[in-house]
Amino acid sequence: MNDSTDTRYSALKQIRDELLDFKESPLFEYRKKNGFHPVIGEGNHYANIMFIGEAPGENEAKQARPFCGASGRILDELLASIDLKREDVYVTNVVKDRPPENRDPSPEEIELYTPFLDRQIDIIQPKVLATLGRFSMKYIMDKFELFMESGPISKLHGQIFEAPSSWGTVKIIPLLHPAVALYGASKKGVLLADFKVLKEFV
């Protein structure tokens, strides 16, 4: 359970408050016009595993929750396959507001929102950063200076990389985005196999 008197709770609430009024974002007016909300993240503030997606979809922006649509149901299945619940982990995105028409986030949007993500990572201090999709993989691999390991997600998914952080060694595990499982059983099999890699960090 997250305690409202806890310093991590307070620090994450500060991020939420800033994002609610984030007029500097080109996505702010689109959010207001459509009655959407920023999607900050949710889960255990002391989680060993932090999942990072790309950007919220329509369901997420309406409910202010990450991965609450079809992709979220897949994510819950994947977590259950390694005996985890959503409340055991922390789930967030690189970009906190929904891009129009579910388009890919732009480089400018990624640059604008990643300082908030960086703060979330520093607050939660996870042992594992599990990226979901290519945008989050690229950002996290670059952030932790794993340039020698660069490559497409089709090559890197399911592998474990290590990098130093201010709270110790962090494991970085690129994963395919759960949405790929909606397009074929074989992709879901790949995701299930990759999630087994996370089992040792539960």
**Tens digits of per-residue pLDDT, 157-177?**
999 999 999 999 999 999 999
Q: 2-12 pLDDT, tens per residue?
A: 777 799 999 99
Do the Cβ atoms of 180 and 66 come closer than 8 Å?
A: no
CATH of the domain at 107: 3.40.470.10
| DSSP per-residue letters across 140-160 | HHHHTT-GGG---HHHHTT--
Whether 135 is in a domain gets the answer yes
Whether 2 is in a domain gets the answer no
| DSSP per-residue letters across 152-201 | -HHHHTT--EEEEETTEEEEEEEE--GGGGGG-HHHHHHHHHHHGGGGGG
Query: What residue numbers bound the domain in which 118 lies?
Result: 7-201
What is the per-residue pLDDT for 1? Answer: 57
Here the tokens at position 160 are 């474990």
Q: Which residue has the tokens 């409910």?
A: 63
Average pLDDT, the chain: 95
What is the per-residue pLDDT for 184? Answer: 80
Mean pLDDT for the stretch of residues 26-50: 97
Residues sharing a CB contact under 8 Å with residue 172, sequence separation 6 or more, in sequence order: 128, 129, 131, 140, 141, 144, 146, 160, 161, 162, 163
Whether 89 is in a domain gets the answer yes
Judged against a pLDDT cut of 60, whether residue 16 lies above it is answered with yes
Here the tokens at position 115 are 């300082």
Here the tokens at position 131 are 């990226």
The number of domains in the chain is 1
Whether 1 is in a domain gets the answer no
Residue 42's H or E segment, with its range, is strand 42-43
Whether 110 is in a domain gets the answer yes
Here the tokens at position 95 are 């970009």
Whether 72 is in a domain gets the answer yes
- Closest to 148 in 3D by CA, of 165, 166, 130, 161: 161
Mean pLDDT for the stretch of residues 42-48: 97
Do the Cβ atoms of 79 and 85 come closer than 8 Å?
A: yes
Whether 17 is in a domain gets the answer yes
Q: Please provide residue 40's backbone torsions phi and psi, each rounded to the nearest 5 degrees.
A: -80, -50
